[in-house]
Amino acid sequence: MRSPYPTGIDHVRAVRGKAARHVTYNNTRRDPRAAEFYLSKEWRELRPVIMSVYEYVDIYALYVEHQLITLKDSDPIHHIIELEEDWEQRLNPLNLIPLSHRTHNTITALYKQSNASMKATQTQLRSLIDYHFKEAGGYEKVLCDRFLVAPPLFFGENSPRENQDTGE
């Protein structure tokens, strides 16, 4: 019985076909700055960390569609605030959520419906993140524990920001 999965030369052709599709997309449709960003060292280092923070689970599918989808390394990480909207958010862990390809297509379609739909979807994604990490003390705590974001600076006694507004 023949395996349903490509092997040997068929596998190489399948992998090259997928790679060629991404190269074509990057060269013809994606903003050149974004294409360069997705190849950057910073992105390649952050990507697996974000996947591990979410334990390779698509939380949109889990909580909205009630399906447990285990992600693969090849699945996309979605920028809640997209690169075109705010370039400065591109490496912000609080702006990233890993999704399956199917879920990413769903989110992209919701973003494209209208500005109101995009804003509502962004709010929904942030709510799902908050809900998912609530028992762990919140997403920001999880990220601080993994040294992905700095702990917040507090005003008050002995704060280096204590006299910031007065210029002292």
- pLDDT tens digit sequence for 22-32: 454 444 456 89
Q: Write phi, then psi, for 79 (nearest 5 degrees).
A: -85, 115
Q: Would you state the pLDDT for residue 23?
A: 54
Average confidence score pLDDT of the chain: 81
Q: How far apart are CA 7 and CA 144, in angstroms?
A: 43
CA–CA dist 47, 49 (Å, integer): 5
Structure tokens at 158: 């002995």
φ, ψ at 97 (rounded to 5°): -145, 125
Which residue from 78, 73, 82, 22 is spatially nearest to 49, judged by alpha carbons? 73
pLDDT given at position 150: 62
Give 74-85 pLDDT, tens digit per residue. Answer: 999 999 999 999
Give me the mean pLDDT over the 10-22 stretch.
52
Q: What is the SS3 assignment for 70?
A: strand
pLDDT at residue 155, rounded to an integer: 40
Question: Is residue 131 scored above 90 in pLDDT?
Answer: yes
Confidence label for 139 from pLDDT (cuts 50, 70 and 90): confident
pTM above 0.85, yes or no: no
